[in-house]
């Protein structure tokens, strides 16, 4: 099964993808995680992406498309995947269609998670993540067992792009560049809208009821 998770920054796509990748035994391919890892390692992609990410802007399409093309060739992606944070522009959506056509494959479900802007900002401002294992927490909604520390023992950090001024820029970029992509999938008749309110578990159940039990 191939799934696309779309939605604004902080809506909870990554959290849902993490839960559902375990449930459906599918790799969770998160473009944001791939980019942050490249930035940590200082690879050419990471060095190019850094300035864009830190300003809350999108990394250029040609860089992202090259990265996803390589990632989807890896062995674990053969059985399917959950794509989180890709595509984000019409150009990326068209590139994905091309990649799939070359493999005679298709996306089974395109899910658009939505919630009001006040909730997005609350979720982003309280998010903390582990720089070592990548696990994501929230100070109020998903606190770590031990304050300030991941279950793996490493100190939690706040993402640089989760600072208020950068969040504003990310939300603006989402409206200008990603909303048209959502309309693109809507017109194709592929889109399933899921309201991302309630607990993580409630939302996962709603998603599963759309997909059926694989
Ligand atoms: P990326 O990391 O993908 O950021 P994003 O899309 O802005 O999404 P987020 O990670 O902020 O949010 P999420 O929806 O995954 O929410 P989460 O589950 O963490 O990308 C970062 C940057 O990389 C981009 O700005 C761009 O520069 C670049 N980039 C990435 N992809 C790109 C692309 N395709 N093209 C170009 N550039 C690209 O949840 C948020 C918080 O809420 C967490 O603390 C969580 O615990 C909490 N939470 C989740 N669900 C609930 C719930 N139901 N109730 C209460 N709290 C909840």
For the chain, report the end-to-end CA distance as a whole number of angstroms. Answer: 8
CB atoms within 10 A of CB 169: 14
Q: Which two tokens stand for residue 144?
A: 């770590």
List the domains of the chain with CATH numbers: 2-115+164-208 (3.40.50.300)
Summarize pLDDT for 111-160 with one digit per residue, the tens: 999 999 999 999 999 999 999 888 999 999 999 999 999 999 999 999 99
Please provide the DSSP assignment of the chain as one string.
Answer: -EEEEEE-TTSSHHHHHHHHHHHHT--EEEHHHHHHHHHHHT-HHHHHHHHHHHHTPPPPHHHHHHHHHHHTTSGGGGG-EEEES---SHHHHHHHHHHHHHTT---SEEEEEE--HHHHHHHHHTEEE-TTT--EEETTTB--SBTTB-TTSPBPB--GGGSHHHHHHHHHHIIIIIHHHHHHHHHHT-EEEEE--S-HHHHHHHHHHHH---
Q: Which of 4, 12, 13, 88 to mutate to test the pocket of ligand 1 (most atoms within 8 A of CB)?
A: 12
Q: Is the CB of 114 under 6 A from ligand 1?
A: no
Q: Which is the closest atom of ligand 1 to the Cα of 87?
A: 34
Give Rg (Cα) of the chain: 17
Kindly give the distance from the C-alpha atom of residue 33 to the centroid of ligand 1, in angstroms, as a whole number: 9
The CA distance from 131 to 54, in Å, is: 16
| Contact indicator for 54, 148 with CB cutoff of 8 Å | no
pLDDT at 212 over 90: no
Q: What are the Cα distances from residue 56, in Å, to 62, 184, 211?
A: 18, 23, 32
Asked whether 93 lines ligand 1 (CB < 6 A), one says: no
Atom number in ligand 1 closest to CA 13:
14
Question: What is the pLDDT at residue 213?
Answer: 55
Residue pLDDT, tens place only, 32-41: 999 999 999 9
Out of 4, 5, 6, 15, mutate this one to test ligand 1's pocket (max ligand atoms within 8 Å of CB): namely: 15
Q: Which residues are paired to 12 by β-bridges?
A: none
The reported pTM is 0.95
Average pLDDT, the chain: 95
Strands 109-114 and 2-7: parallel
Beta carbon of 10 within 6 Å of any ligand 1 atom: yes
Measured in whole angstroms, the distance separating CA 32 from the mean position of its chain's CA atoms is 6
């Amino acid at each position: 099964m191939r799934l696309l998770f779309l939605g604004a920054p902080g809506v909870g796509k990554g959290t849902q993808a993490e839960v559902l990748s375990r449930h459906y035994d599918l790799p969770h391919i998160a473009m944001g995680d791939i980019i942050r890892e490249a930035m940590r390692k200082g690879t050419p992609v990471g060095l190019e992406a850094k300035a864009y990410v830190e300003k809350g802007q999108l990394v250029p399409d040609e860089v992202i498309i090259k990265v996803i093309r390589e990632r989807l060739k890896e062995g674990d992606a053969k059985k399917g995947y959950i794509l989180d944070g890709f595509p984000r522009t019409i150009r990326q959506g068209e590139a994905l269609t091309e990649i799939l056509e070359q493999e005679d494959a298709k996306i089974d479900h395109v899910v658009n998670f939505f919630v009001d802007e006040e909730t997005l900002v609350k979720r982003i401002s309280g998010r903390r993540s582990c720089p070592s294992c990548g696990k994501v927490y929230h100070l109020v909604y998903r606190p770590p067992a031990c304050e300030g520390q991941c279950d793996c023992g490493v100190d939690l950090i706040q993402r640089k792009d989760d600072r208020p001024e950068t969040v504003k820029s990310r939300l603006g970029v989402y409206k200008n560049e990603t909303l048209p992509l959502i309309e693109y999938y809507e017109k194709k008749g592929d889109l399933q809208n899921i309201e991302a309110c309630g607990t993580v578990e409630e939302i996962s159940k709603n998603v599963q009821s759309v997909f059926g039990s694989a």
